[in-house]
Structure 1
């Protein structure tokens, strides 16, 4: 897969959006993705390089099955240990390395895969003049996918940092990155963290 910023360097209108890099998805959790720990250094580099321009989402399960509508009820019936009535709140926190870098007001909670319909994220980004998003996080084929497609729908320029996203499934991770780079290549760019940071211009 060819990577790079084919539509030019990034500027002051760009921000880093980190998707669901929480204890809930780290190894040791029932929902743990093995690659989270391996991708964390790249995510941390993005967040620390542009701390005031980094935004974070967190996936928050319902308190009980009564708060899980429709097919979500069936979903959480298979994962009762994830419901907040039994889950320790610490599992919902960002990974410690990222929690330390998250600016106040830059963490947005959601109860579904996409962060665009209920979190206030879009309004906050627009308020900061953001029109370009560098996306990192987990999981590539679920919440990252929903985040990226929603960003495209809202007209953002979207760059997926390929070495800063991960999934529990190598097969679908690879398939989604291929979709981004190929079929959706006019609206989504794929680049490495090094490529992003080398081409992100900021005012001195």
Structure 2
């Protein structure tokens, strides 16, 4: 990961900050804990604080109970029975408190699979709001962030990954995925630090997103 931190497409204009799955169930005490989440949380909060009205927090909503779901998702929730809502408690799907305080004007977007683009009109809502850029933070780098990034690429959005505001539960796959983002998707995915993103996306500009 040696490429320049400069944004190759210049200053950020009509953007949305999409923060992926920074929820209590990933923050600690479960089988899906992301140990780095507390480390990157201040950077996620810093971006959100400058642009709360342009921030969308996705939330991954597990099955209600073990064995629920369609196709392979049923087997998935048999394997991860401890992560179903009946076992976790519904409060565990909530955002971590440091981010929940921004809602509203930030909004939440619930999804039941890795990608927020599947089975939703999210891309149409963003286009209606004249959004052309998606700034991605959150976790996991190699699962739900990956699905979020690839969907945004497919819909033609400019994608900016905030390198110090991403987290995973596995160092090795995080590092491998970052190399893929920068080297295989270098024309469509820009990688930059929180400092660079904020320097190129000052407060002001377009207002709150269409609900």
Query: TM-score, with normalisation over the residues of structure 2?
Result: 0.91
Q: Calculate the aligned-residue CA RMSD, in Å.
A: 1.6
Instruction: Tell whether the 8 Å contact from 1:135 to 1:159 is kept in structure 2 after alignment.
Output: yes
State the alpha-carbon separation in 2 of the partners of residues 192 and 86 from structure 1: 37
**SS at the partner of 2:19?**
strand
Instruction: Tell whether the 8 Å contact from 1:113 to 1:143 is kept in structure 2 after alignment.
Output: yes
- Equivalent residue runs for 1:46-85 within 5 Å: 46-85=47-86
Q: Does 1:32 pair with 2:33?
A: yes
State the alpha-carbon separation in 2 of the partners of residues 203 and 71 from structure 1: 43
Between the two proteins, the alignment pairs up a number of residues equal to 203
Point out the more displaced range, 83-92 or 33-42: 83-92
Q: Does 1:9 pair with 2:11?
A: yes
Q: Which residue of 1 aligns with 2:102?
A: 101
Instruction: Tell whether the 8 Å contact from 1:136 to 1:160 is kept in structure 2 after alignment.
Output: yes
Give the Å deviation of 1:79: 1.4
Instruction: Tell whether the 8 Å contact from 1:4 to 1:195 is kept in structure 2 after alignment.
Output: yes
Give the Å deviation of 1:69: 1.7
Give the Å deviation of 1:81: 1.5
Instruction: Tell whether the 8 Å contact from 2:30 to 2:83 is kept in structure 1 after alignment.
Output: no
Deviations 1:177-204 (A, max 9, x none): 1111111100000000000000114449
Q: Which residue of 2 aligns with 1:129?
A: 130
Instruction: Tell whether the 8 Å contact from 1:60 to 1:109 is kept in structure 2 after alignment.
Output: yes
Give the Å deviation of 1:119: 4.0
State the alpha-carbon separation in 2 of the partners of residues 63 and 203 from structure 1: 40
Query: TM-score, with normalisation over the residues of structure 1?
Result: 0.94
Instruction: Tell whether the 8 Å contact from 2:116 to 2:122 is kept in structure 1 after alignment.
Output: yes
Give the Å deviation of 1:66: 4.6
List, as ranges, runs of 4+ consecutive aligned residues in structure 1 with deviation greater than 3 Å: 201-204
Q: Which residue of 1 aligns with 2:201?
A: 200
Instruction: Tell whether the 8 Å contact from 2:67 to 2:77 is kept in structure 1 after alignment.
Output: no
Unaligned runs of 5+ in 2: 207-211
Q: Which residue of 2 aligns with 1:154?
A: 155
Instruction: Tell whether the 8 Å contact from 1:138 to 1:167 is kept in structure 2 after alignment.
Output: yes
Give the Å deviation of 1:131: 0.8
Q: Does 1:86 pair with 2:105?
A: no
Instruction: Tell whether the 8 Å contact from 1:55 to 1:102 is kept in structure 2 after alignment.
Output: no
